[in-house]
A and B are shown apart, each in its own frame.
Chain A
Amino acid sequence: MSNFRDTGHLFRFAGIFVAAILIFLAIRGWLVPHTFGQYGHYRGAALNEIAAKPVHFAGHQSCETCHADIAEKKSSGKHASVHCEACHGPLAAHADDPSIQPAKIDTAVLCAQCHETSAAKPKGFPEVETASHSNGVSCETCHQPHSPALEAGGAQ
């Protein structure tokens, strides 16, 4: 006992430490959602919450059931690998109820998003400087969006 004489203040200091750690753990227990860590380093319940969100994209198979003509045309053209909703935007609502009209597309914006010249794009990807290439004329005057290559008989 005499060994601990005159060390009372040190225990008080250590006590503050222990108290701080306990308070931290208590706050942590209260703030961290209880499903945290259920599957991994995230909140387990988040999975169900995300799954419950409305679906925005229908997927190209869905479009093709009703728009077989366009699907066929597209599959033989240069845009075969580009899916419908990459250009038309999310259209799940329209696929469920075709009376909902899809929004019109502004090709001057859309086409440039993928085809504007940029050194960061892979070699061989078709690029144009839209300003000098079309001079403000909208792209679909010459290219058909669903089969854009001119020499492939895609010209209108």
Chain B
Amino acid sequence: MQGVNGFMYPNEVQLQWSVLIVLYPFITGLVAGAFILASLVRIFHVEAVRPTYRLAMLTALAFLLVAPLPLQLHLGHPERSYEMYLTPHRTSAMAMFGFVYLWYLMAVLVAEIWLDYRRDIVIMSQSATDWKRWIYRVMTLGSSNISPRALEIDDRVGWLITLVGIPSAFLLHGYVGFIFGSIKANPWWSSPLMPVVFIFSAMVSGIAAVMLLYMLSARLRKEPIDMRCVDTIARYLFYIFIIDFSLEMLDLVHRIYEADESFRSLDFMVHTRLYFSQIILQIFAGTLAPVVLLGLAQVVKLPELARKRIYGIAGSLTLIGIFAMRWNVVIGGQLFSKSFLGYTTYKMGLITREGLLMAMLLSLLPLFFLWVLAKLLPPWYQEQDAITAAG
């Protein structure tokens, strides 16, 4: 059969999980990572990265809104898929994810964004004109109390929510790793390290994404980039990247040393079908290159322009690398036979429900959401000062 080498069981020839299932952990990872970056400001008081606080929160929200879409498209049947939440089963990881998701969306992200923006919302509900005024009016929930005491209470409650939010973000993304790590029939996935690796790679990708979005938005708005902020973000990115990389290497060393019955087959796969996406894209281009670049910026004193370029390149490579990692996990885990005697190929559709076009659309959708959110709730601090002046 074309695309199949060696022996495959009949139900293994075609992949069940498509590129959309690659996108799904990638997107939730960006959410969790962006939120962790925001919590640096709130909980860990890293004041230097404050200019990205609101942007990070809005990014997390925009991506979180898109996160369930790839799953829904993969499953089909929107007319009955919600039933999973009406009568959830305790043993269904997917049903439980829905509640983790809703909790994270409503109790953490929306609540925190609302509290943080409340003062601006109240001021804008008085200063904005026509239909926008109505939107802000609804968002105030009918309370225009922005007395210093009320704002201080908001701040404290927001802190508490972030505190709850950090484990929630870990839960949200650790859970995605758990879905793979807990499949004991698949040696490529089955590993208790999986959730941990997923969380750290999520942080890496989310931080890189917010850093890129911040630099890009500053350029589009023709504003200077706050270098102290980007330097700090890059430094944290570097640290977390190193942890992430060592965890992944630990997993690798463990697999090589253990060399169980699946090892020869998986090893062969990494050297053939996954060579480009795993060795070249994920490890060299997507991990080692950005780590070296970011490390260089830490060690050598470089001029501003060079640092900007390095951060831009390293950030983009990071996103490519993390996407490749998700690809290698999801697609790689389905390319080999459980008999360890054969390999199949993934053939991606173009204009199908789970094809390439849909995947690209779903990757652009969060950026569109972010644009709408940023119009409604401007995350730029200069503008915020203007609002304060108006109020």
A residues lining the B interface (CB < 8 Å): 5-10, 12-13, 16-17, 20, 27-28, 31-32, 36-37, 41, 118-120
B118 touches A9 (CB 8 A): yes
B141: interface (CB < 8 Å): yes
Q: Of B7, B111, B150, which is within 8 A of A7 by CB? A: B150
Whole-angstrom CA separation of A120 from B7 in the bound complex: 9
Contacts of A27 in B (CB 8 A): 86
Whole-angstrom CA separation of A6 from B9 in the bound complex: 66
Contacts of B114 in A (CB 8 A): 13
Contacts of B83 in A (CB 8 A): 31
Q: Of B7, B10, B111, B153, which is within 8 A of A13 by CB? A: B111
Contacts of A12 in B (CB 8 A): 141-143
Contacts of A13 in B (CB 8 A): 111, 114, 141
Whole-angstrom CA separation of A89 from B245 in the bound complex: 58
Interface size for B (C-beta < 8 A) is 23
Contacts of A31 in B (CB 8 A): 83, 86
Contacts of A41 in B (CB 8 A): 87, 89
B residues lining the A interface (CB < 8 Å): 7, 9-10, 83, 86-87, 89, 106-107, 111, 114, 118, 140-143, 145, 147, 149-150, 153-154, 157
Contacts of A119 in B (CB 8 A): 7
CB of B41, distance to nearest CB on chain A (Å)? 22
Whole-angstrom CA separation of A119 from B147 in the bound complex: 76
A17 touches B150 (CB 8 A): no
Contacts of B87 in A (CB 8 A): 32, 36-37, 41
Whole-angstrom CA separation of A41 from B84 in the bound complex: 12
Closest to B341 in A: A119
Whole-angstrom CA separation of A6 from B145 in the bound complex: 7
Most-contacted residue by chain A among B7, B83, B89, B143 (CB, 10 A): B143
Whole-angstrom CA separation of A32 from B86 in the bound complex: 7
User: Given the interface contacts A13-B114, A17-B106, A120-B10, does A8 sit within 8 Å of B86 by beta carbon?
Assistant: no
Contacts of B10 in A (CB 8 A): 118, 120
Whole-angstrom CA separation of A13 from B9 in the bound complex: 54
Contacts of B141 in A (CB 8 A): 9, 12-13, 16
Whole-angstrom CA separation of A5 from B142 in the bound complex: 16
A28 touches B86 (CB 8 A): yes
Contacts of B150 in A (CB 8 A): 6-7, 9
Closest to A16 in B: B141
Closest to A5 in B: B149
| 5 residue pairs, one from A and one from B, having the closest CB atoms | A9-B143, A6-B150, A12-B141, A6-B149, A28-B86
Whole-angstrom CA separation of A32 from B83 in the bound complex: 9
Q: Of A9, A16, A17, A36, which is within 8 A of B145 by CB? A: A9
Contacts of B7 in A (CB 8 A): 119
Whole-angstrom CA separation of A147 from B326 in the bound complex: 55
CB of A55, distance to nearest CB on chain B (Å)? 28
